[in-house]
Copies of this chain bind each other. A is one copy, B any other.
């Protein structure tokens, strides 16, 4: 398999004394067992594992700082590891070094319900967080599908189904505790809702994919649980009619909480996997949040728009258990898709374009994929102009891999040409480094390199990722 960057750069030589020092400090929480290393050298990307030399399980920020100082001194790569749910190769130890597992840092530190904020350790996952704050009447809306850790979500600037209403990690992270490359501990901000005091360190680390510092605590905004929630499904005669409905809904400023697109293949897969009986045509899955009156008002407005675009009757899911079943099915679309071709290897894309170009971008992409030699499905957080393609490849076919990479490249370039981005929410990792130049231009990339060098002069933090 021809994977760009995977073999790029030298694998670092870890000195024996270095591992001894780690073992002495961490005991059983430092492991170089093959199974542990393999587990930490892979993620949900299509790449084969590239194991680190050792895995350290950190329990405190001070421990993280200790490891960073040691790695910095010995120039050993250091890769933070949360839930392992990256799909772009962020976690692969392409230059060896240490995988720093933060999943044990899973404590909710402070719920400030009166300020609608919560501070958690980086290893807390979004489902755990919502469980722990359930009694406060508040919730954390960012929902990338996977039960990712908050640290990982911050590091990849994650978003997901609720972003159209509540924003992404960019808008919802208020403050981070970060360990720098040389092992210092900083707070990027405070808990004020806004500030003009200095450079926006928070936003520098949000989306930095572990390359500028190691996030150990995250303070995020919470929102009151909506008084009323309703969900609905609407089928469409064509992909275009569905997407054009969304464009009009957004342009009207209707504050839908979620609007998800599934193409026919995704619906078919979801029906099979989640034992549903949705009509197998392109569909939109809506959720409305607000007061009972507001929810009704939004739903009526959306229904009017979809009807004009040929949308078939709304199918309501009012009961929490029905809603939950629908959204679970949506979240399982990835696994459902894999079943479209049992035994296949999935390659996933993720682009985002201005909403006015969305129909054109999705259509052109579907048209190309219809000629491909493998099955695919398209799902999308279309309210943001963001969609994904899941391509289901024969794992033994080099030709299919190359074909999928070619299509992925064409899609990324199409999105960039439409004044969009090669990744709306998955991040760059390894798989998208080749698009950074086309998206940003050399001069902007030079600034990114300057920033990286300023924050991590010895290039120990997740080296070889993001920047070409």
A interface residue numbers (CB < 8 A to B): 112-117, 156-159, 163, 167-168, 170-171, 180, 184-201, 203-204, 206-208, 212, 223-224, 247, 250-253, 291, 293-294, 297, 350, 352-356, 384-386, 415-416, 419-428, 432, 435-436, 439-441, 443-448, 450-455, 466-467
A204 to chain B, nearest CB (A): 6
CB pair A441 B187 closer than 8 Å? yes
A207 to chain B, nearest CB (A): 6
CB pair B171 A424 closer than 8 Å? no
The answer, among B115, B200, B352, B466, for a CB contact under 8 Å with A198, is B466
Given contacts A116-B251, A194-B424, A294-B294, 7 further A-B contacts (CB under 8 A): A115-B354, A157-B195, A195-B352, A196-B428, A204-B451, A224-B251, A451-B454
A156, A159, A170, most chain B CB atoms within 10 A: A170
Q: Copies of this chain, how many?
A: 2
Instruction: With CB as the reference atom, state the residue of chain B lying closest to A195.
Output: B421
Which residues in B have their C-beta under 8 angstroms from that of A419? Answer: 190-192
A421, A422, A441, A446, most chain B CB atoms within 10 A: A421
Instruction: With CB as the reference atom, state the residue of chain B lying closest to A175.
Output: B419
**Given the contacts A193-B355, A193-B385, A356-B114, A199 and B188 also touching, CB distance less than 8 Å:** no
Which residues in B have their C-beta under 8 angstroms from that of A203? Answer: 170, 200, 203-204
CB pair B197 A435 closer than 8 Å? yes
Which residues in B have their C-beta under 8 angstroms from that of A251? Answer: 113-114, 116, 224
Q: How far is the CA of A118 from the CA of B386 in the complex (A)?
A: 20
Q: How far is the CA of A447 from the CA of B189 in the complex (A)?
A: 13
Q: How far is the CA of A428 from the CA of B466 in the complex (A)?
A: 32
Give 29 CB contacts A-B under 8 Å: A113-B251, A114-B247, A114-B251, A115-B356, A168-B194, A170-B203, A186-B443, A189-B421, A190-B439, A192-B352, A192-B424, A193-B354, A193-B355, A194-B352, A195-B421, A196-B423, A197-B422, A198-B428, A198-B439, A198-B448, A198-B466, A199-B208, A199-B452, A200-B203, A201-B444, A201-B447, A204-B204, A291-B297, A294-B294
A113, A189, A247, A435, most chain B CB atoms within 10 A: A189
Q: How far is the CA of A239 from the CA of B356 in the complex (A)?
A: 47
A38 to chain B, nearest CB (A): 27
**Given the contacts A203-B204, A354-B112, A447-B180, A170 and B190 also touching, CB distance less than 8 Å:** no
CB pair A199 B448 closer than 8 Å? yes
CB pair B207 A196 closer than 8 Å? yes
CB pair A197 B293 closer than 8 Å? no
**Given the contacts A203-B204, A354-B117, A159 and B194 also touching, CB distance less than 8 Å:** yes
